[in-house]
Amino acid sequence: MSLVVQDLVIDLDGRRVVDGVSFAVPDGARVGLIGESGSGKSLTALAVLGLLPQGAEASGSITWNGRELIGRPDRELARLRGDEIGIVFQEPRTALNPIRTVGRQIAESVRIHEGLGRRAAAARAVAEARRVFLPDPQRIVKRYPHELSGGQRQRVGIAIALACGPQLLIADEPTTALDVTIQAEILELLRGLVEESGMSLVFITHDLAVLSQIATDGVVLAQGRVVESAPVRDLLTQPRSTITQALLRDAKSTLWRTGGPS
C-alpha cells in the first residue's frame, strides 16, 4: 500500500472535525473522498501533506510507503510535497502567485527538488506546459496567472503538481470553480495523465457524477467520519448509507440538467 490512513483524528481550535477516518490507496489506485462541505475530506488531504491550518492538530496514523508522516518535521514533509506527493488545489487563482509568470512557477518545483539550473528548469517548464496541453507553451509560460483563463490556470496547477513525477497526486475539488465544458476537459486530462504515469490518485469532490468519471473506489465522509467505502460502481448502483443516497440523487439531478456527465 502506498498511502494508509488509519484512525485519523483532527481537532481544530478544540473542535473535532475529523474523527477516526481510515482508508488506503494502493499503488496505482484511484480513490475518491466524497462528501458535502464540512465533511472533513479536504482537511484529511491536508493532513497527508502536513499542511493543516493553524490551530489544527492531527493524531492517528498516516503512512506513506511505510513511513509515518504524522509528527514528522515540516522540513521532511516539504521534501515529499511536489517530489513524491503532488497536489492540485480547487481554485488556481488563489493557488498561483499573481506576480510571477506561470513558467517560473512550474520551474520552481524542479529547481528545488531536482536541482536543475535556471535554463534547464525553464525548458522543463515549457515541456510540462505542453504535457498538459496548454496552447503555444513557449509563449504561455511567459504570462501571468491573470492573463490566463480559469481552465488554463488549472492546467498550470496540474503541471506544477506533476513536474517532478510524484507517485501520488491529490486533487482537491480541481473542477469545482470551472464551467461544465472546461470541467470535463480537466477531468479527461487528469485521468489520462494518471493512467499514463501509473501514479496513485486521491480525488476530492462533493459530486458523485464527477467522481464516477475518474475514480474506481470511493470513501464517503459526513461530519468527519467515514459512512461508506466501496467501489464507485456500487456507490452508484447500491448505496448503503443515507448520505450516499443523497449524493446519488444530486448526481442524477446534475446529469438530468446537463444532459450528460458534468
Helix/strand/coil (H/E/C) assignment for every residue in 59-115: EEEEEECCEECCCCCHHHHHHHECCCEEEECCCHHHHCCCCCCHHHHHHHHHHHHHC
Element spanning 138, H or E: helix 137-140
Could you tell me if 39 and 221 are in contact, meaning their C-beta atoms sit under 8 angstroms apart?
A: yes
pLDDT, one tens digit for every residue, the chain (262 residues): 589 999 999 999 999 999 999 999 999 999 999 999 999 999 999 999 999 999 999 999 999 999 999 999 998 998 899 889 999 988 878 889 999 999 999 999 899 888 899 999 999 999 999 999 999 999 999 999 999 999 999 999 999 999 999 999 999 999 887 888 888 899 999 999 999 999 999 999 999 999 999 999 999 999 999 999 999 999 999 999 999 999 999 887 655 444 444 3
User: Which burial class, exposed, middle or buried, applies to 226 when counting CB atoms under 10 A from its CB (0-12, 13-18, 19+)?
Assistant: buried
As a residue count, the chain comes to 262
pTM: 0.91
Q: Using only C-alpha atoms, what is the Rg of the chain?
A: 18
